[in-house]
Amino acid sequence: MTELVGLIVAKYNFWLYIILMMIGLYAMIAKNNLMKKLVGMNIFQTAIILFYVSIGYKHGATLPIIQGDHGGHGTHGAVIHAAEYINPLPHVLMLTAIVVSVATFGVAMALCVRVYRRYQTLEEDELRIRLSEK
């Protein structure tokens, strides 16, 4: 039992991401209001972005900036150990994912506004009824 508690405490950030993902998934599946589904999707995306940023972190590592002369190779024959540096790729990819999620959220909100103006509701059940009547 203490091993399980130790595992949960050691990886608390992953458990928080899982909880956030489940809240977002629940909102996307269980809610009938389109805005609530949209907010659930945004929570889900945020949890995934936080997860990738956290796995890109390396304790005790430094930024991948090699200091030295600007001429030649800049290290004067010193050996570079890749394990001492943080990999910036996950962080860069998540910056792109943030931009995509903001754009997706904006377009989806604009669509929700258009749907509301036309049908005066954002509830899925009412929209299905109104669309089947036409």
pTM for this prediction:
0.79
The pair of three-digit structure tokens given for residue 106, joined into one six-digit string: 């904006």
**Predicted pLDDT of residue 74:** 54
The pLDDT, as a whole number, for residue 36 is 96
Please state, in angstroms and rounded to a whole number, the distance separating the CA atoms of residues 113 and 109: 6
Tens digit of each residue's pLDDT (9 = 90 or more) over 70-117: 555 555 556 777 778 888 888 899 999 999 999 999 999 999 999 999
The pLDDT, as a whole number, for residue 82 is 77
| 30 domain residue, yes or no | yes
Q: For residue 8, is it within any domain?
A: yes
Q: Model confidence over 30-85: pLDDT tens digits?
A: 999 999 999 999 999 999 999 998 888 888 888 777 766 555 555 555 677 777 88
Cα 107 from Cα 113, distance rounded (Å):
10
Q: Which two tokens stand for residue 7?
A: 């595992």
Higher pLDDT, 103 or 13: 103
Buried b (16+ CB within 10 A) or exposed e, 36-53: ebbbbbbbbbbbbbbbeb
Higher pLDDT, 84 or 28: 28
Quick one: pLDDT at residue 60?
A: 83
The predicted pLDDT at position 18 comes to: 94
- Total of domains in the chain: 1
CA separation (Å) from 117 to 15, 37, 49, 112?
Answer: 40, 18, 33, 9
**Among 38, 2, 34, which residue's Cα sits nearest to residue 123?**
34
Are 25 and 44 in contact by the 8 Å Cβ rule? The answer is yes
Query: CA–CA separation, 96 vs 48, rounded Å?
Result: 13
Task: Determine the pLDDT at residue 8.
Answer: 78
Instruction: Report if residue 9 sits inside a domain.
Output: yes
Report the CATH number at residue 125: 1.10.287.3510
- Residue 29 placed within a domain: yes
Range of the domain at 112: 2-59+82-133
Q: Residues 79-91, buried b or exposed e (16+ Cβ, 10 A)?
A: eeeeeeebeeebe
